[in-house]
Structure 1
Amino acid sequence: MSTTPLTIYRPGLAVGRDAQVLHRAASPEFSGWLEHTRPAGGCSRPIRLTGTITAVDRNTGRITRRLHTDELPDRTLYKACGNRRESVCPDCAWVYQGDAYQVVCRGLTGGKGIPASVGRHPVVFATFTAPSFGPVHHRHVPRHTCRNRQRCDCRPAPCRARSNAGACPHGQPAACFARHDADDPRLGQPLCLDCYDHDHQVVWNYFSGELWRRTKQAIDRHLAATCRQRGIPKVGIVTDSGKVRWVPPVRVSHGKVAEMQRRAAVHFHVLLRLDGVDPDDPDALVPPPTGITVDDVDAAVHYAASRITVTTPPHPDQPDGWLIAWGAQVDVRRINSTDGELTDDKVAAYLAKYATKATEATGHCSTRLTPATIDDYADPEGDHTARLIDACWHLGRPTPADTSSGAATHGDRQDSLDTKPNIYGGLRRWAHMLGFGGHFLTKARRYSVTFALLRDTRATYRREEDDQPTDAITVGTLTYIGSGWLSEGDALLANTAARQRRESRRIGREELAHEAWLLGAAA
């Protein structure tokens, strides 16, 4: 490939995008460049790397090939950013959503190394919501008559019809008689910004992961107690040291997705699958013992949600800490049951969709905030989102006990070592996420396949598709040099080619499915 210098056209110069496209497409290396950028073709801001790529034989350790990025088009290696957020990179989010669907669905139906027998295990789909931090505008449909909830046009009830509500202490009306449309920007906004407890909400978002951890423990313990009451014995497992460890005969594997509500409080959608324990193979996925049903899982979820709370550590603004608990609305539905409440495909698609979302529902979307950018988003007298961000920044401020606020001097070094850092300091790190610092898709180790396995499978498929040797290990010594395409014309060409490839694959899948249907109908 040619290594002649490439003229780089940047946005804002006199040369327009059309000229950039013509310049790239007319170059002799255009086909090679298009193939070179294929792995990052649809990415909005691909990562550009420079360095050496070495192929090593897996069996002998001999170097079979060495390539420097100076020999590649643009003298750089393009890699997709891999961002899961649809608002940041739609193409990478599309790939992540497909992986998320597989992670969730394999835990319900089996496949990709998960036995198909898990499809017969009791499973519930539970939704855990945050409590109220103040009245907000909401849309409630008492009775649905529509066929598709995604396009619901049913008449909603009045938002907060209170004939004798009067006004709040700040003079704002405590009632709302409007029937909000689904796209009404007032949905999720407090009736009174001054009455709303923004501090408590961001702290709830921050500690919601700990609340879920304790809730999961309570569900496991409740099911273990149910087994004892019904005379189902524990299972003895031989450890690596040769000792026998007695464990409950059932365990719950979960897959969890966090969703940001319009009021900017997270709530969790959780799949809870009941598994048994095989004493000969503790890692095997086996059905639960007879006597424990989906009704027991349902009861364990409601029991844990109504009793588990977390009291946060003291804070200068709240010496007794904040109480972190679930809201009153805990919805539990059964998957693939005889009453047909929900199917595994619908649930997997629903959770995969929310795995690519973040704070977009609140109208806020930004990267991590810093002291230089915080003033652009935080305002104690601003709108709902601005006050939440300000609460994160204010509550996460350094305290005298926070050793991260600055380097300790020789005289107070021992005092700093004896004092715990400010546990609320992470609120500043996650201010752009309105306090929530957890991952939006998590799962138990035994629930399903991993994202790493799916990525490795995809990489192996691409190597085989490109006729690359599968017994070779690729070692890259690469350095980051920038993000984004070199010009708007390059972005247009690469993204268009990626969309065409994706469309051709979709059409191919549809044709194969139609052909299989015709063969089945003929048989």
Structure 2
Amino acid sequence: MVLRLPSLPPPEEEVLSTPLTLYRPALAVGRDAQALHRATMPEFSGWLEHTASAGGCSRPIRLTGTIAAVATDTGRITSRLHTDELPDRALYKACGNRRESQCPDCAWVYQGDAYQVVRCGLTGGKGVPDSVGRHPVVFATFTAPSFGAVHRRHVPSHTCFTRQRCDCRPAPCRARSNAGTCPHGQPAACFARHDADDPQLGQPLCLDCYDHAHQVVWNYFSGELWRRTKQAIERHLAVLCRQRGIPKVRIVTASGKVRWVPPVRVSHGKVAEMQRRAAVHFHVLLRLDGVDFDDPDALVPPPAGVTVDDLEAAVHAAARQIAVTTPPHPDQQSGWVVAWGEQVDVRRINSAGGELTDSKVAAYLAKYATKATEATGHSFTRLTPATINDYADPEGDHLARLIDACWHLGRPTGADTASGAATADDRQDGLDTRFNVYAGLRRWAHMIGFGGHFLTKARRYSVTFGLLRATRTTYRRTEDNGMADTITVGTLTYVGAGWLSDGDALLANTAAQERRESRRVGREELAHEAWLIGAAA
């Protein structure tokens, strides 16, 4: 395991064996007093440098053990250091959580990596050829269908300069002249003009009319729906090539087999966004590539006979045609139909006069890559039989009913349950059970049924997170050691998580925030300088 560690002494120097003082403040001391006490300690500057790699982390991992510098050419250990000789007798490592609500600093790093992954697939760089910038690309948004009327905020026409600070007057939520009431006696209309932060947004007009079971099943099978949709897009383009006389490409696989494949393929980068009603939407970048018979893995432009118009038409056709019928369930013997909603938006990237550019789209997707269920107003941890009753309630609010639907549909199904009869307690595991394809709904009940990754991509679309992290590790290792022919190896064990005190967290997080701000200002100055040079030229 390779980690970013403090600089080890050169081989000819003797490692100090005197351990530093382990700081353990009294729990009764306030945060400010803890911070002041830490800042007045003689080894404060060394502690601050020691925690720099995890300084902004909300809950860093503390490790103990031995770290050593190893020569890459000979494998000889040139120096060794035990964590007892480090401040707090531990090595701090950032938690790496991608969720902004859990750890803003680690999410900031993940968001930067996500931006690079998405942007390189549009413009090239970091091993991706620059020619991908000339490939046809569309940005599509696939929405979930309606499972019942919810409160919404709709602005018919925007007059604001930026949507981030939109102050335009919205239209009435659901204005109906003859709506009346629903079968449960609730009004079927809403004439309110909701603010952007109105807690009613996304809530059903009638909880009893809303189909909570269908929504959690849709979230659960949305990944399969997307997989089939992409296959349909590629089939549509393959048929189009055959109709236009564009021949298939003969390739030889790694195993030596000869295959004839369509001359075009689609590479995608996709992010999932949880809506306020707790249904998932997909924002997808679709890039049209060609196939090189000499190197099937190469990224080459598509044939001249296939254009961005064809890609856009293929997306619309697939969204209309594809639907998934889920397996039977005791509560729904015919299964549920999982299909896209009516609103499927497809836009072109970097088109003349268009608002969408590669940088804006990359930033948009990277932002949602650090989100989860925060849009619903709540963020849950994984639920268990011991905690489910605290969150699930079939007579509760919208989220409580969705979580209850996940737990109820994911219950073990025995012989009586499979025949349609109800069990004594659907929340308890039975002895006479059989496999339930909906069992994963219990595992993902805290995600309202959605168990997929929030950011995914095709293998050929762009670089990987692993490559970006490995490059950053190599840079830090060279920067710390001052030598590229030496690596730092740790034999470490977990001892705890989190800072030793609130004062430590305050000092480390403040220092990390200042470093981030200085980097941001530096990037802006470099960008401005590059713009000035370009304008002068």
Please give the range of the TM-score, normalised by the shorter of the 2 chains. over 0.9
Equivalent residue for 1:9, pick from 17, 22, 25: 25
Partner of 1:302: 316
Superposed displacement of residue 52, structure 1: 2.3
Return the letter of the residue paired with 1:447. Answer: Y
Alpha carbons 2:392, 2:403 under 8 Å: kept: yes
C-alpha spacing 1:456/1:261, structure 2 compared with 1 (3 Å) = same
Partner of 2:401: 387
Alpha carbons 2:412, 2:429 under 8 Å: kept: no
Equivalent residue for 1:118, pick from 119, 124, 132: 132
1:263 aligned onto 2:277: yes
Partner of 2:462: 448
Return the letter of the residue paired with 1:128. Answer: F
Partner of 2:46: 32
Q: Residues of 1 paired with 2:268 and 2:370: CA distance? A: 19
SS of 2:495's partner is strand
Partner of 2:164: 150
Partner of 1:498: 512
Partner of 1:346: 360
C-alpha spacing 1:330/1:517, structure 2 compared with 1 (3 Å) = closer
Equivalent residue for 2:230, pick from 216, 231, 235: 216
Partner of 1:54: 68
Q: Residues of 2 paired with 1:469 and 1:429: CA distance? A: 46
Alpha carbons 1:310, 1:324 under 8 Å: kept: yes
Superposed displacement of residue 211, structure 1: 0.5
Instruction: Among all aligned residue pairs of Structure 1 and Structure 2, give the percentage whose two residues are the same amino acid.
Output: 83
Q: Please, which runs of 5 or more residues in structure 1 have no aligned partner?
A: none
Partner of 1:105: 119
SS of 1:15's partner is coil
Alignment of 1:132-211 (within 5 A): 132-211=146-225
Of 441-450 and 458-467, the range deviating more from structure 2: 458-467
Superposed displacement of residue 59, structure 1: 2.5
| 1:381-404, Cα deviation, whole Å (9 max, x unpaired) | 1111111111111111222389xx
Q: Residues of 2 paired with 1:260 and 1:466: CA distance? A: 40
Partner of 2:449: 435
Q: Residues of 1 paired with 2:533 and 2:264: CA distance? A: 43
Alpha carbons 1:125, 1:271 under 8 Å: kept: yes
Partner of 1:239: 253
SS of 1:331's partner is strand
| 1:110-137, Cα deviation, whole Å (9 max, x unpaired) | 1111111111100000000001100001
Alignment of 1:388-427 (within 5 A): 388-400=402-414, 421-427=435-441
Q: Please, which runs of 5 or more residues in structure 2 have no aligned partner?
A: 1-15, 418-427
Q: Residues of 2 paired with 1:28 and 1:375: CA distance? A: 51
Supply the RMSD in Å over aligned alpha carbons. Answer: 1.9
Partner of 2:420: none
Alpha carbons 1:170, 1:194 under 8 Å: kept: yes
Q: Residues of 2 paired with 1:290 and 1:210: CA distance? A: 32
Q: Residues of 1 paired with 2:525 and 2:254: CA distance? A: 52
Alpha carbons 1:205, 1:266 under 8 Å: kept: yes
| 1:433-486, Cα deviation, whole Å (9 max, x unpaired) | 111000100000000011111111111221222244323344332222211100
| 1:320-374, Cα deviation, whole Å (9 max, x unpaired) | 2111111111110011123424111111111111111111110111211122222
Superposed displacement of residue 406, structure 1: 7.7
Q: Residues of 2 paired with 1:5 and 1:373: CA distance? A: 41
1:466 aligned onto 2:480: yes
Alpha carbons 2:23, 2:88 under 8 Å: kept: no
Alpha carbons 1:333, 1:341 under 8 Å: kept: no
Q: Residues of 2 paired with 1:74 and 1:154: CA distance? A: 53
Alpha carbons 2:62, 2:498 under 8 Å: kept: yes
Return the letter of the residue paired with 1:427. Answer: L
Return the letter of the residue paired with 1:274. Answer: L
Alpha carbons 2:20, 2:85 under 8 Å: kept: no
Alpha carbons 2:297, 2:460 under 8 Å: kept: yes
Superposed displacement of residue 209, structure 1: 0.4
| 1:31-76, Cα deviation, whole Å (9 max, x unpaired) | 1111111110000011111222233332222223333222221111
C-alpha spacing 1:511/1:335, structure 2 compared with 1 (3 Å) = closer
C-alpha spacing 1:482/1:407, structure 2 compared with 1 (3 Å) = farther
Equivalent residue for 2:384, pick from 339, 355, 370: 370
